[in-house]
Amino acid sequence: MSNIAVQLFGRLHVRYDNIEVTGLDVRKVQELLCYLLIHRRRPHAREGLASILWSNTSTAQSRANLRRTLWQLQHLPAEPIAAELLAIEADWIQIKPHLPLWLDVAEIEAVFEQTKGQPGEQLSHAHASAAAQAVDLYRGDLFDGCYQDWCLVERERLQQMYLALLDKLMGYCEYHGEYERGLAYGAAFQQYDNVNEQCYRRMMRLYWRAGDRSGALRQYERCATMLAEEFETTPGPLMQALVERLKTNQPIDELARATDHAHAGEEISLSELALHLRQLQVSVDRHGQAVRQALHMVEQALRRGGSS
């Protein structure tokens, strides 16, 4: 069996035997492949799959669309790839289990699970190295350009994993004195979330430890500006305490330890609360999608029963 490598972050890229697969320019073919790869651990009923990918059409039309899209996927220039990727039955479709498949999404998910619950300063060198390799795979949002509901939910879920790994790497770099590297991870974090106070606090400490007091204070000013614009609020007490110590050249190590454990009992800021709520929303949306799919299938079964 041949090797298949798929990149879902940013633009979709598929390699088969180390050769780029062409012919994947049909949008629905891309969507179908992406959806199946994201949900690769379970089989999918054709009817439910069709209702998700073609939610604005009738059941008959959506199933016809799915048949056509599957045919297009099965007749790519690298034709054997579909046969190796997919297990297709009369009513079910799924990615084949135990397939020798490399998937960038799977790499980030695996490292996230391996490091779950570990503060950055407690990461082993091996885990920090794995996290660094994982975040390098994040070349953009999941399946960039797709705005289907299912994709938006998964995009947010994976982005939160990416940000969590960046946060751990910032903590690891601060603990090990790799300040410039830590600042680079912080800058990457802020490209996707520019109101997270914990990130700003880490950035302030990294700048301070690197000998750049002005850079540390600029982070505070930027944080204050973004919170005022987004939430009409001001930085929380931990930020206020940190900036006062920086302004008066007081030691920050004890405060840094309290800051790192803010989520374990300290009052969190509005921006951090917003981050947690976004994560909760992702979970709710995923369950809601599953319920809608099941309800649709039940309704269709009832209609068929009523017409027989």
In this structure, what token pair is assigned to residue 169?
A: 């790497």
Gyration radius from the chain CA atoms: 23
285 versus 213: the higher-pLDDT residue is 213
pLDDT in tens, 86-98: 999 999 999 998 8
Query: What is the average per-residue pLDDT within 24-43?
Result: 94
In this structure, what token pair is assigned to residue 93?
A: 């479709």
pLDDT, position 171:
96
Cα-based distances in Å from 282 to 39, 110, 253, 262, 275:
15, 19, 35, 23, 11
pLDDT, position 253:
78
Window from 90-104, 234-248, 252-266 with minimum mean pLDDT? 252-266
pLDDT, position 45:
95
pLDDT at 275 exceeding the cut of 60 = no
Q: Indicate the pLDDT class of residue 265, thresholds 50, 70 and 90.
A: very low
β partners of residue 45: 92
CATH topology of domain 106-282: 1.25.40
Q: How far is CA 281 from the centre of its chain?
A: 14
Going across the sheet that includes 101-103, the strands are 19-20, 13-16, 4-7, 101-103
> Against a cut of 0.75, is the pTM above it?
yes
In this structure, what token pair is assigned to residue 18?
A: 């180390």
CATH topology of domain 4-99: Arc Repressor Mutant, subunit A (1.10.10)
Residues 175 and 205: beta-carbon distance below 8 Å:
no
Interatomic CA distance for residues 291 and 302, integer angstroms? 16
What are the extents of the domains in the chain?
A: 4-99, 106-282
pLDDT, position 260:
60
pLDDT at 303 exceeding the cut of 80 = no
Interatomic CA distance for residues 231 and 116, integer angstroms? 29
Query: What is the average per-residue pLDDT within 240-256?
Result: 86
Interatomic CA distance for residues 177 and 30, integer angstroms? 43
